Structure 1
Amino acid sequence: MKIENAVVLVTGGNRGLGKAFVTEALARGARKVYAAARDPKSVTTPGAEPLQLDVTDPESVAAAANAAGDVTLLVNNAAISVAANFLDSDVADVRREFETNFYGPLLVTRAFAPAITANGGGHVLNINSVASWLAQGGSYSAGKAALWSMTNSLRLDLAPRNIGVTSVHVGLMDTDMGNRYDGPKTDPQDVVRQALDGVEAGAFEVLADEFSRHIRGSLSADLDVLYPELAAQ
């Protein structure tokens, strides 16, 4: 699908990568861009339509779907990074991560799929992570792995409705979330450009940095290639 004249909704569209999606979609000629956030007053992008949305709250999701029934491109971007350790952290932290990073995109996609279908079809873009293929991130990696699996299933389920599905995978980005970690960081605007190009091309996956491409290509290797520390045991 083309971004020009599309009606786009970006969850977590008030800052970071989400704000970059809002800006780029507007620059590409989207007819309308909803910047969804828990606090719509935090949306500051000129030309964007602020929309109240808490992806973990079914009532909030339903209200947003009712208010934005003209959407043709849904960008599931909202996420948190708890990275709870499975042995030592409070299980509530694990659940909190899954509520946002897995159940959030599920609830939002289920709510908006009927509208996208009624509008003639469109696209769902799920912002994933290289962590979906790596285990070091604890609950964050597990949630992203689950999101990857769900995205692949949704692609099959939504195809008969003329809705394409793309999964974006990237490592560290130069955003508020990424700034908590050391290492090379990708410009979020570059990720957004690649992601929207992927939507327009109908790509199943967008690997937005070299690290993601390397890890994706290593999945068929023995586990000690991804986790050298296991080889010493």
Structure 2
Amino acid sequence: MPSLNGAVVLVTGANGGIGTQFVREALARGAAKVYATARTPRAWNDDRIIPLALDVTDPASIRAAVDAAQDVTVLINNAGASPSTPGILSHTDEEIRANVETNFLGPLFLARAFAPVLSAKGEAVIIDIHSALSWYAVAGIYSATKAALWSATNSLRLELAPAGVHVVGVHVGYVDTAMAAEVSDPKLDPAVLVSEVFDATEAGAHEVLADDTSVQLKAALSAPLEFVYPQLSGTAA
């Protein structure tokens, strides 16, 4: 089974609430080193944490990160972006492209770039952070990009399994971070989320449904669309 003990971990979006928790919890579980990446990395005051500049939308930045982190055994695609308003028709071309590049192309290109590094390790892990909204299209372009990442994660899992790379997809609703600061609905503690993700990873699970919202939305995938989206029929589900 995959283990964090002795692992070398790279976390994208490490400055955020979830990313920071991934960095700290990886070390708590015995990781030997963590590359804490961000567009503008911060100081961590821990020799085991290596700040590393990484813009997942920039191919040159991805190549530089791969060159600097050839010892990585666990890649965590955590960085993400969300538009200020929902919808898929109301955003500018630039807003749509920014979400596609950050939430879908960035994780995919990073996984592709690190695939030879991870495959050479014999036992390695990729963790992709999706969203419960990948199964519920009310968030427009954000939902679309997370749905695309979910599909890409399934493909990566199939292609990388023969090389010993274990791929984990994570679905979660609202998490108590700055991104969800304006949300009044229940929010999951980032520490609880990360603990669930690492527990599942070390148990060999392929998918994490981190909260009731994710469980319910996955179950609803087999339901008629009018049940999932009652506004289509004008009746309550």
Task: Say if 2:27 is the partner of 1:16.
Answer: no
**Aligned residue number for residue 104 of structure 2:** 102
Task: Say if 2:63 is the partner of 1:62.
Answer: yes
**Aligned residue number for residue 223 of structure 2:** 221
Q: Percent identity?
A: 51
- 1:87 aligned to 72, 86, 89, which one? 89
Task: Return the offset for 1:181.
Answer: 2.2
Aligned length: 232
The CA deviation string for residues 51-84 of structure 1, in whole angstroms up to 9 with x for no partner, is 1111000000000000000000000000010155
**Aligned residue number for residue 50 of structure 2:** 49
User: Equivalences for 1:83-232 in 2 at 5 Å?
Assistant: 85-232=87-234
Query: C-alpha separation between the residues in 1 aligned to 2:43 and 2:198?
Result: 21
Query: C-alpha separation between the residues in 2 aligned to 1:36 and 1:55?
Result: 10
Return the TM-score normalized by structure 2. 0.94
Task: Return the offset for 1:45.
Answer: 6.2
The CA deviation string for residues 163-189 of structure 1, in whole angstroms up to 9 with x for no partner, is 010100000010011113221100011
Task: Return the offset for 1:130.
Answer: 0.3
Secondary structure of the corresponding residue to residue 136 of structure 1: helix
Cα contact 2:170–2:209 (8 A) shared by 1: yes
Structure 1 residues 58, 84: CA separation in 2 closer, same or farther (over 3 Å shift)? farther
Structure 1: stretches of 5+ with no match in the other structure: none
Structure 1: which amino acid aligns with 2:170?
V
What is the CA RMSD across the aligned residues, in angstroms? 1.3
The CA deviation string for residues 4-37 of structure 1, in whole angstroms up to 9 with x for no partner, is 1011100011221001000000000101111111
Query: C-alpha separation between the residues in 2 aligned to 1:107 and 1:163?
Result: 16
Return the TM-score normalized by structure 1. 0.96
Query: C-alpha separation between the residues in 2 aligned to 1:43 and 1:183?
Result: 33
Structure 2: stretches of 5+ with no match in the other structure: none
Query: C-alpha separation between the residues in 2 aligned to 1:225 and 1:116?
Result: 42
Secondary structure of the corresponding residue to residue 87 of structure 1: coil
Structure 2: which amino acid aligns with 1:24?
E
Structure 2: which amino acid aligns with 1:214?
Q
